[in-house]
Amino acid sequence: MKALLDRARSFRRRVDFESIEYRKLAEGQYPEALFITCSDSRVIPALITGARPGEIFELRNAGNIVPPYGSPGASGEAATIEYALEVLGVQDIVVCGHSHCGAMGALKSGDDLTALPGVDAWLQLARPELAPVLTAASDDPSLPDVAQGNVVNQLAVLQTYPVVRQRLDGGRLRLHGWYYEVDTGQVHELEGDGRFRVHTG
């Protein structure tokens, strides 16, 4: 924690806040994309994409799960999606799963989560649609089949949100599925045939 505090305290000295780029940030944000990914500390959207401050709007939670539209109670996920589209006008949404995901690992192994009731309730949102994948997935500890299947499922859930559906139908929104390998840095992109492939730029 000391190292984090030291870097936070010296942040202003390390960054040129007098630059035009940082002065513009005070005027508002105009992100290009909403990036939905896991809260895993090894997954850093700005590092993966090379995004500068203000370029991506982030939504992070355990397992990059999108709750079904109309779920009871307040939802930070629903609020973030709504704000990103209605207020910020983002035209791209990325759902990015990753290898070695603890949430997907818990689903695959069927761990007893009674000591973690909040985690258990949260993962229940993803479990039903993932059931076929969980049964058929290999024992690869990086869990590619499960994490990729979850990305596909969350993209489908996103499309049940009216704000998403309207923009898709009007050609004003694009959805993207990514799978990030934490041990190699490779990004696999979901293609039209339902497969994830690595593209080199």
Q: What residues are designated binding site for Zn(2+)? A: 38, 40, 98, 101
CB atoms within 10 A of CB 54: 16
Q: Where on the phi/psi map is residue 171: left (φ > 0), alpha (ψ -120 to 50), or beta?
A: left
CA distance 98 to 195: 15
Vertex 45, ends 39 and 48: CA angle to 5°?
130
Amino acid identity for residue 84 in this structure: A
Alpha helices (H) in 124-179, listed in sequence order: 127-136, 144-158, 162-169
Helix (H, G, I), strand (E, B) or coil at 93: strand
Phi and psi at residue 198, to the nearest 5°: -90, 130
Return binding residues: 38, 40, 98, 101
Q: Are 78 and 161 within 8 A, CB to CB?
A: yes
Inter-CA distances, 129 with 100, 149, 152, Å = 20, 9, 10
User: Which single residue is written with the structure tokens 């649609």?
Assistant: 129
